[in-house]
Amino acid sequence: MERVTALATEIRAPAATNRRLLAAGTFIAFGLVDILLFGLFSHPGDAAFALSLSGASVTVPTIRIAGWVVYIFGVLSILIGIARATVITSPGLRRLAIAVVLFFFVLSLLIWSDTGSWTHGIPVNVVTLLQATLAGSIPLILGALAGCMGERAGVINIAIEGQLLLGAFMAAILASTVGLWVGLIGGSLAGGLVGLVLAAFAIRFFVDQIILGVVLNLLISGITGFLYDRLMVTNAQTYNSGNTFSAVKIPGLGDIPIIGPIFFDSTIILYITYAAIIVVQIGLFSTRWGLRVRAVGEHPTAADTVGINVLAIRYRNLVLGGLLAGIGGTYFTIGSVGPFGKDISSGLGYIALAAMIFGRWTPLGATAAALLFGFTTALGNFLGTITVPISPALLAMAPYAATIIAVAGLVGRVRAPAADGRPYVRA
């Protein structure tokens, strides 16, 4: 036993050293990009950052930053990289270093973009950018919460993509034929139905959970695509009219400068997302129900021994998570653009799964990761509107590249619930 422990220690040490050096090299590379690209190839002048929407009752002065500041950001990033390789060891400081270097990189990119001649002097509206980030993160957050609820109970939910897609389809068709609220409820129930099917096959029939999730995603993609061609295309006014919820400003809070338009002036789906984050976080980590769920995900046999119904908890969590993911899917249609389109979820269910892993199977962590990916999408869309000299294909792939980098390089060592993905057979 001592030899095994010594061998494991010897293996972990080089791995930790390699990860530390890789992180340091990445920070230094970001710093060099700040200096050599955003600094040397920038246009003269200042970058302007607007902090208020046009017509706002309370306006905040526009901030101007000189273009040469990106050199400072680059140098600081390089110094952080050197410190990461030598003195930064605690997990908290490592995460702070990642956040600071990424902040410097994004700010340097925005400064370079706004000082370029292609902006025509238009300032970067920070409020609009963050509004798009928060709104675009809704399906990611709710999908990641669905994943947390399933995997904390020991069942892998790869079918988040299918739950989002079917929720979007049902919301569009029911909102067009009956009403918006019926569309919201129907979209949520559609996601819950997928969760029930996933639970039945994974828990009752012991089907491989990863393969099952992929099959459900493909099945739902095919069904919604077929019904879209046969039903919605030919009768768009009846079945795909594009009804959407209007923004609801919360009195008082919605008028707060900067944060008001971002957090308190949106559709009802965003407010449901707020409630879902709070309820799932408190439920999983501060209630007896959450303790039982985590016990089932870690050691179902021990949980069963003390009288916890393992299978019932797994069924319940997958269905409840599906209801949340279905609401996330409704955002694609009745929460934003209106009409349904083929594969409108665009693989965001898989990014939600990555956000859950990046967030270490915690609701708040998954929410933070979802916001990071949502910001990447919003930033790519913004850069596309001001026609910066970056290929549209690169801008479109940015969220997916960020997902790969985050999960493979930044998330570090994580541990899923011990019984995650393992069928439970009562002795």
Question: For the domain with range 131-410, which CATH number is right: 1.20.120.1750, 1.10.30.50, 1.10.3470.10, 3.30.565.10?
Answer: 1.10.3470.10
Residue-by-residue pLDDT tens, the chain, 427 positions = 444 444 444 444 565 677 788 888 889 999 999 999 888 877 777 888 888 887 777 788 889 888 889 999 999 999 999 998 888 888 788 888 888 988 999 899 888 888 765 556 678 889 999 999 999 999 999 999 999 999 999 999 999 999 999 999 999 999 999 999 999 999 999 999 999 999 999 999 999 999 999 999 999 999 999 999 999 999 988 999 989 999 999 998 888 888 999 999 999 999 999 999 999 999 999 999 999 999 999 999 999 999 999 999 999 999 999 999 999 999 999 999 999 999 999 899 999 998 999 889 999 999 998 998 899 889 888 887 776 777 777 777 777 777 676 666 555 567 889 999 999 987 6
What are the helix (H) ranges across 87-179? 91-115, 126-136, 138-152, 160-177
**pLDDT for 8:** 44
The encoded tokens of residue 364 equal 């708040």
* Kind of pairing between the strands at 265-266 and 248-249: antiparallel
**What global pTM score does this model have?**
0.91
Q: How far is CA 377 from CA 92, 187, 251, 381, in A?
A: 27, 24, 29, 6
Cα–Cα distance, 147 to 162 (Å, whole number): 13
Q: Hey, where are the domains in the chain?
A: 2-122, 131-410
Listed residue (385, 379, 327, 391) closest to 140, CA to CA: 327
| Cβ-contact 203, 426 below 8 angstroms | no
**pLDDT for 154:** 95
261-293: buried (b, 16+ CB within 10 Å) or exposed (e) per residue?
bbbbbbbbbbebbeebbeebbebbeeeeebebb
| Cβ-contact 231, 239 below 8 angstroms | yes
Q: Which helix (H) or strand (E) holds 124?
A: strand 124-125
Cα–Cα distance, 160 to 60 (Å, whole number): 40
